[in-house]
């Protein structure tokens, strides 16, 4: 059942162009998607999986690779089905396992596993093929805009627009809050004794939010921030994905601006 989205009307336009009343949020970060498609790269991983650290390191390297930015929007989803096998992953969430199972059903895969990379809704092997993939740099099927407010009272407000380039599609919007520069000292399980480092770790995933038949969705959502989350390392990724086939029309990643 899709989440209900708080939509905006004329007031959204005032926020977008910086004309909001003084009592509204201070919108300090903004970004728009470009003329080419930014590919969504998802890594399903776990701190309890001994074969996952190389995949985690590959994803982290995207932060500094010039050939990856801004063509790729990486996200690391820590699943929870390894938690009973020796080490509970503090980043693992059942919602992320459910997302991986959903993608598996779309791909007609009988099993799910870690580490698994998914590129624009399709199984992918980047460690073998590098960035060589024919789906990159295609014309996007949608456009995205995002603005982030200055965090206040333990919350981060996000406002934006999702606009399809063709109507009549079963498109839905997701918003992911992610964090970089994380690490864990593993004390048990397959990775016992290792210090694991992570980037692009999804802290919260909101959605799916159905894009109406008009093809345009103005939205405002709020993330509740954890007390130990580092504001300087947070960012938001928006992506538009088909409910039936899993194809991704566009993605947009925006780090939280420093004050």
Q: Given the DSSP bridges, would you call strands 39-45 and 72-78 parallel, antiparallel or unpaired?
A: parallel
Write the burial class of residue 10 (CB in 10 Å: 0-12 exposed, 13-18 middle, 19+ buried): exposed
- When divided into structural domains, the chain yields a total of 1
Give me the pLDDT at residue 146, please: 97
Does residue 1 form part of some domain?
no
Straight-line distance from the first to the last Cα atom of the chain, in angstroms, rounded to the nearest whole number: 37
Q: What is the pLDDT of residues 44-85, one digit of tens each?
A: 999 999 999 999 999 999 998 766 667 899 999 999 999 999
Cα Rg, the chain, nearest whole Å: 18
The DSSP string of 192-248 is TT-EEEE-SEEEEEEEEEEPPTTSEEEEEEEEEPPTT--GGGEEEEEEEEETTT--E
Instruction: Residue 17: give the domain boundaries.
Output: 6-255
Weakest-pLDDT range from 42-46, 123-127, 199-203, 217-221: 123-127
Residue with tokens 């003329």: 35
CATH number at residue 80: 2.60.40.10
Is the predicted pLDDT of residue 195 greater than 60, yes or no?
yes
Does residue 99 form part of some domain?
yes
Q: What is the pLDDT of residues 126-175, one digit of tens each?
A: 866 555 554 555 789 999 999 999 999 999 999 999 999 987 679 999 99
- Count Cα atoms within 13 angstroms, Cβ side, for 224: 0
The model carries a pTM of 0.88
């Amino acid at each position: 059942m899709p989440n209900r989205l708080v939509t905006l009307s004329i007031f959204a336009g005032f926020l977008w162009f910086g004309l909001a009343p003084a009592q509204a949020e201070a919108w300090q970060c903004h970004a728009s998607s470009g003329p080419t498609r930014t590919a969504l790269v998802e890594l399903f991983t776990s701190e309890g999986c001994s074969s996952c650290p190389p995949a985690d390191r590959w994803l982290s390297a995207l932060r500094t690779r010039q050939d990856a930015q801004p063509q790729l929007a990486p996200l690391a989803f820590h699943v929870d089905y390894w938690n009973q096998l020796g080490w509970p992953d503090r980043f693992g969430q059942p919602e992320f396992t459910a997302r991986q199972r959903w993608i598996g059903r779309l791909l007609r895969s009988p099993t799910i596993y870690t580490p698994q990379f998914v590129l624009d809704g399709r199984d992918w092997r980047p460690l073998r093929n590098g960035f060589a993939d024919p789906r990159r740099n295609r014309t996007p099927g949608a456009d995205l805009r995002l603005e982030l407010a200055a965090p206040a009272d333990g919350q981060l407000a996000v406002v934006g627009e999702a606009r399809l380039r063709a109507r009549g599609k079963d498109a839905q919007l997701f918003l992911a809050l992610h964090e970089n520069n994380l690490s864990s000292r593993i004390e048990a399980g397959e990775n016992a004794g290792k210090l694991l480092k992570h980037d692009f770790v999804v802290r919260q995933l909101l959605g799916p939010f159905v894009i109406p038949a008009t093809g345009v969705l103005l939205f405002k959502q709020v993330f509740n921030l954890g007390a130990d989350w580092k504001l300087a390392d947070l960012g938001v990724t928006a992506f538009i994905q088909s409910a039936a086939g899993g194809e991704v029309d566009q993605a947009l990643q925006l780090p939280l601006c420093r004050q």
